[in-house]
Structure 1
């Protein structure tokens, strides 16, 4: 897919903001901009010009936040002390109501992640995204570290192997690609392979059965792989740079999934294949005979807590100050 679905000028501004580097100042500016727009909207409404604003608001994407206090079975991630020296920052949430079954919706979903990894994640060097089928996860989860020759994972599309062997394989593949394309250095896409150089331990997300379901920034597991019938997602963003980067990337990820979901629901597609070659093939074939009316059904975002080994809260996402950077395109029901 050469372009993310539904992206516009405002959307590009979000991406530019995330790349700018001044995240703290920019976030405060975003909040002030949101307050300014709210005041202007109220003034127009009082002067009789609020009808257009109401139409614009109705057309925005909807996301409903389910708070931990309202959730009978919230997901919790416990972060061990060891991650502080390896990859200390992690943000997670649950996203329910995603539609991936029609046509090439799953392929566009995978392309979406690739695009974000190249763009706002700066080729995975700033942050890394992992998406999982929630129904295949056994909680509670532990964000931990393990030695390279002990950490085992079944990567997407591969057999189970040790982390050090996986990294060696990927580095050899990157070097071979460099030679084939006659480049002086390995491509930017493979620079993230060096982020773990010199580390005595590697980061991993482990489920209640002791299975490694994520090995950031390298891969997540075949065990929790998303398929066409997946409806509920567990989203994970990690970074060795800052917590704010994780939150900003998660904001954009949720926005992009919401955009993709609306397009999928508004346009009934013919059945598509699951061939890997379809992943970059762009939109599927629309079936206009369905004549489906637009659906503005909100996705549900469940808060996930990350706690330390003593149970003390480290981060809760989304908090009331999150999703501000995408507020011009997303209506958040709290």
Structure 2
């Protein structure tokens, strides 16, 4: 049997504000020296993980000693100023969890220096759950302080709709029928997972980025096409993602990227939904939205937002275009 773990306290985790200095990862600089939305969200996640560490509850100890997997289950992020390679930012994490809330909540603000000024670059609302590990032997009773946030299954606290039955039908055709959408089937590989078995939030962020890439390529305006034709790049002012249920390693995941709205020819909002067929039903495991615009590269340092032209508007709407 596993030895009983020492008692723990969530006092600092739930009350203290923490700060940490962070740099975006080199991998996130894909076009010139700008950092994509996915890696900005990674900074948010890293700040929250550091808050747990500073509060005496690092993710490793939570898992190894108490059998609790720290899962980010919701991210709602606004990007107010672009990040560049080698930027040194300061992230502030403020807990806002209330009694009766089944998740741990945090407000994250990331600031950067620009021309001698400190700018608020990112704001994000984050929610986390402590998933009780069932893959290995039980670690014993969940400590009382963290018990309100410990769950046997991610998304169990949500009021979910009953999943529809599936009986030998074309799942992608069903999910995209009548919608301005693109879908694909994908088998979940282990590099997208954590705690041995389940798809993690960063994996969904990677899929959201891939969904955009697949969608525009399918519509004839791939990332490279618009880069080569006019030096346009996609930019993201906002993204949000929520885990609704668990998706497990090597399960088939069906992903659908749906264009919901084009706003004043400057941005468009798309929704990403993820589903797993399980026990004869189609279970939605995650949903989220992402807002995209386009910017033209002016030089190696600067870009500016541009309105959509007819070619892009037609592609977004799924209409043929001669331009």
Please, what TM-score do these two structures have when normalized by structure 1? 0.22
Greater relative CO, 1 or 2 (CA 8 Å, sep 6+): 1
Please, what TM-score do these two structures have when normalized by structure 2? 0.22
* Larger helix share, 1 or 2: 1
